[in-house]
Amino acid sequence: MKLKLRQLFSLKVISAVAFLLLGSACHKKQPPAPTPAAPPPPAPKAMLTANPNTITAGQATTLTWSTDFATDVSIDGIGKVDLSGSTKVTPAESTTYRLVAKNDSGTQEATARVTVNPAPPPTTGKTTTESDAQLFQQNMKDIFYAYDSYELTMESEATIQGNAKFLQQHPNMTFTIEGHCDERGSIEYNLTLGEYRANAAKEKPFCTESTEACWQQNRRAHFVYSK
C-alpha cells in the first residue's frame, strides 16, 4: 500500500513539472516583426524653358528649369546643373536644349527650342545717306510767299515750326535753302528778293504756267538735302 502511494505521488510530481515546463514553453517571447522597406521615391518631374526662344545670331537667351524628386540633373551642352535654376546661353545656331532629371525610380526629360536668325548685313554709309535724303524730302516743307514779298504768313510760320522740329530731331542733317521767284521781274531784282527769302536764291520755277496760281508756287523757299 505504501508503494502504491509513493508511485502515485511521483506521478503527480512529474505531471506538475511537465505542466510547468509546457506552460513556460507556451509563453516564450516572440521575436519582433521585421520593419517594412521604405517605398521607392516618385519618378522625377522636370520643366525647361527658354526666354526669349527666338534670337538673332550673337544674342543671348536664358534657360530656366525646375525639377521635383530628382537627385541628378544635367543639360546637354552645359553639363550637370542644380536641381532648379537658370543660366544664359548664346547659341550660334538654332538648338534644342535637353534636360535629363534622374532618381532611383527613373528618368524624366524636358526640352526647349531656341531659334537663331541670321544677323542682318551691316548697313553702308550710302544706304544711310539715301534713307536720310528720303526722310528729309518727306518732312521738310517749302515756304511760299506773297508777290514781291518776303514776309512770313501765319501758315508759313507753322511750316517753319514743323521744319524746325524735324531738324531738331535730326541734328546731323545738312541742307541748303534755295530762294525762288516767279518769272516776272528781272533776274537781278529776283536775285535780290531771293536773298531775303533764303541764303541762296536761284531762278528755278516750280511751275511753268503764266498764271497767278503758278506764280504763287514759284515764290517760295525750298529746302535741299546736302549729302
6 within some domain: no
User: Average per-residue pLDDT in the chain?
Assistant: 76
Domain termination residue (choose one: 70, 91, 117): 117
Q: What is the CATH number of the domain that holds 77?
A: 2.60.40.10
Domain termination residue (choose one: 96, 117, 138): 117
29 within some domain: no
Most confident of 28-42, 56-70, 165-179: 56-70
Same-domain check for residues 218 and 134: yes
Same-domain check for residues 108 and 132: no
Cβ contact 49:83 at 8 Å: no
Same-domain check for residues 186 and 170: yes
Hey, which residues does 224 pair with through a beta bridge? 176
Residue 210's pLDDT is 60
C-alpha 101/C-alpha 193 separation (Å) is 85
Residue 101's pLDDT is 97
Name the band, by pLDDT with cuts 50, 70 and 90, for residue 106. Answer: very high
Q: What is the CATH number of the domain that holds 218?
A: 3.30.1330.60
Residue 29's pLDDT is 62
Same-domain check for residues 138 and 168: yes
C-alpha 200/C-alpha 89 separation (Å) is 58
Same-domain check for residues 172 and 204: yes
Name the band, by pLDDT with cuts 50, 70 and 90, for residue 163. Answer: confident
Phi-psi region of 148 (alpha: psi -120 to 50; beta: other; left: phi over 0): left
Residue 156's pLDDT is 78
Same-domain check for residues 86 and 160: no
Average pLDDT over residues 70-97: 96
219 within some domain: yes
Name the band, by pLDDT with cuts 50, 70 and 90, for residue 204. Answer: very low
Same-domain check for residues 112 and 142: no
Domain count, the chain: 2
- DSSP state letters, the chain: -HHHHHHHHHHHHHHHHHHHHHHHHHTPPPPPPPPPPPPPPPPPEEEEEEESSEEETT--EEEEEEEES-SEEEETTTEEE-SSEEEEE--SS-EEEEEEEEETTEEEEEEEEEEEEPPPPPPPHHHHHHHHHHHHHHH---EE--TT--PPPHHHHHHHHHHHHHHHH-TT-EEEEEEE--SSS-HHHHHHHHHHH-SEE----S--SSSHHHHHHHSEEEEEEE-
Name the band, by pLDDT with cuts 50, 70 and 90, for residue 202. Answer: very low
Q: Write the pLDDT tens digit of every residue in 89-99.
A: 999 999 999 99
3 within some domain: no
Q: What's the domain range around 130? A: 125-226
Output 191 or 163, whichever has higher pLDDT.
163
19 within some domain: no
17 within some domain: no
- Going by C-beta distance under 8 Å and a sequence separation of 6 or more, which residues neighbour residue 133? 225, 227
